[in-house]
Amino acid sequence: MRADARRNYEQLVEQARIAFAEFGVDASLDEIARRAGVASGTLYRHFPTRLDLIEAVLAEQMAELAGLGRELLTAEDEFDALSTWLRAALIHALTYRGLSAAVMNSALDRESGLVSTWHAELFEVGAALLARARQSGAVVADADEADVLKMVGAIAWAAQDSPDRSAQADRLLALLMSGLRHGGVQPR
């Protein structure tokens, strides 16, 4: 990529990151191009679809989230490690309103395996953290990886339009973690 094309690409990704955080993943692509100081055609040459731009914005963040999970696999307190990673995943999901629906719905129609690769990697890390906490006795034995990760996604979805979305998400995650903790009150 030429230096000017690389600079345009980086500006588009940075401005998209800001716009998606501010307005959600449905932010105006024309406005993103304008903020980046390029024509809309330049945006579409680099990113033919909205999902292409979303993927570019998320690439680094997904790697960081997976890396955090792998680091936490050696943490001394298994429950705190799981809680820390689930909170980071929740914060990530809350950053961009509409992200889960946009990525997952679009991924179903694409041949690109990038979203599937991210999903598999994050599921693997989350499952390993939960398994470690389960094996140590820190969480209930019947805690299921898919269920726990779906609940974190559901918390993000439920809190995304709330005026106090971070506080609401924290409260809901605390309830989830309380339910997972071994020795906590179990439903009948």
Closest listed residue to residue 168, CA positions, set 154, 155, 181, 179: 155
Residue 107 has pLDDT above 50, yes or no: no
d(CA 132, CA 127): 8
Q: Residue 21 has what pLDDT?
A: 86
Fold of 58-180: Tetracycline Repressor; domain 2 (1.10.357)
The fraction of the chain above a pLDDT of 70, given in percent, is 88
Q: What homologous superfamily is domain 1-48 in, according to CATH? A: Homeodomain-like (1.10.10.60)
pLDDT in tens, 6-15: 999 999 999 9
Per-position DSSP letters for 128-165, written without gaps between them? HHHHHHHHHTSB-TT--HHHHHHHHHHHHHHHTTSTTH
What does the block give as tokens for 37? Answer: 């100081």
CATH 1.10.357.10 segments of the chain: 58-180
Q: Output the six-digit token pair for 168.
A: 């609401």
Q: Tens digits of per-residue pLDDT, 26-51?
A: 899 999 999 999 999 999 999 999 88
Q: How far apart are CA 52 and CA 46, in angstroms?
A: 9
Distance CA 81, CA 125 (A): 11
Terminal-to-terminal C-alpha distance of the chain: 60
The model carries a pTM of: 0.79
